[in-house]
Every structure is written in C-alpha cells, then in structure tokens.
C-alpha cells in the first residue's frame, strides 16, 4: 500500500460534481469540512449572543463564498470578498443560499433533490 491508512483517513474527500440553484443562478458547489461547519455554527451563535445582524450576515456570506465554486473549481472566497457579496445581494438572498448549502452539507450523498449532478 503506497499510502498509510492514516493518510487515507485524513485525505480530502473527493467532491462529486454538484450544482445548486442559489442567488438566481446555478453554481457548482462543494461540501465543507465538519470543522468549518462547526466554526460557522459558533460564528452564528456569537452573532446571536451579541444580537448582531451584521455579524450573522457576514458569517452567512462567508459560508456561501466558501461553498460556491468558480469556473476553475476554486471557492469563490478566493476571488470575492464578503463585503462584495453583501454589497450585491440582500440578506434574505444570502440567508436563503446559506440554508440550501447547509442542507447539502448535512444530508447524505445522493439524498438531495435541490442539488443535482452536472
């Protein structure tokens, strides 16, 4: 075996080709790691504890940008800032996209009706 079992266990998951219709368009997407999703949940909790809609919107926008992929398969967060997304889209649109992306992240592979194979 060329790779250790630990190496196989910790290797990044292969992403299936998925698209999701959010923000008025079909975008290719990726699932986020469990650690990143836990970080997002903490950001949302902190925003709620501070009663900060701005912090909640920023966390949601960040999750959206990390999940949506550009034409070369890289996360949109590499080329688009949270501030740019917040300037272009409404909080309702961003939160709707976030909700769909969270569903995709937490449901079993093949269970999604919104996300579809390319």
On whether residue 114 sits in a domain, the answer given is: no
On whether residue 77 sits in a domain, the answer given is: yes
Count of the separate structural domains present in the chain: 1
Q: What is the mean pLDDT of residues 6-11?
A: 81
Q: Could you tell me the residue range of the domain that residue 61 belongs to? A: 34-109
- Residue 1 pLDDT > 70, yes or no? no
On whether residue 56 sits in a domain, the answer given is: yes
Q: What is the band of 18 on the pLDDT scale with cuts at 50, 70, 90? A: confident
- Residue 88 pLDDT > 90, yes or no? yes
Name the DSSP letter for residue 28.
E
On whether residue 12 sits in a domain, the answer given is: no
CB 115 within 8 A of CB 29: yes
On whether residue 48 sits in a domain, the answer given is: yes
Q: What is the band of 5 on the pLDDT scale with cuts at 50, 70, 90? A: confident
3-state secondary structure of 2: coil
pTM: 0.81
CB 19 within 8 A of CB 29: yes
């Amino acid at each position: 075996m060329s790779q250790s079992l630990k190496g196989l266990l910790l290797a990044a998951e292969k992403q299936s080709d998925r698209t999701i219709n959010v923000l008025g368009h079909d975008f290719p997407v990726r699932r986020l790691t469990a650690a990143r999703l836990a970080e997002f949940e903490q950001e949302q909790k902190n925003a709620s504890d501070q009663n900060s809609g701005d912090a909640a919107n920023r966390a949601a926008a960040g999750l959206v940008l990390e999940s949506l992929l550009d034409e070369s398969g890289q996360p949109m967060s590499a080329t688009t800032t949270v501030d740019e997304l917040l300037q272009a889209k409404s909080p309702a649109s961003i939160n709707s996209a976030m909700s769909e992306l969270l569903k995709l992240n937490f449901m079993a592979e093949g269970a999604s009706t919104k996300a579809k194979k390319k």
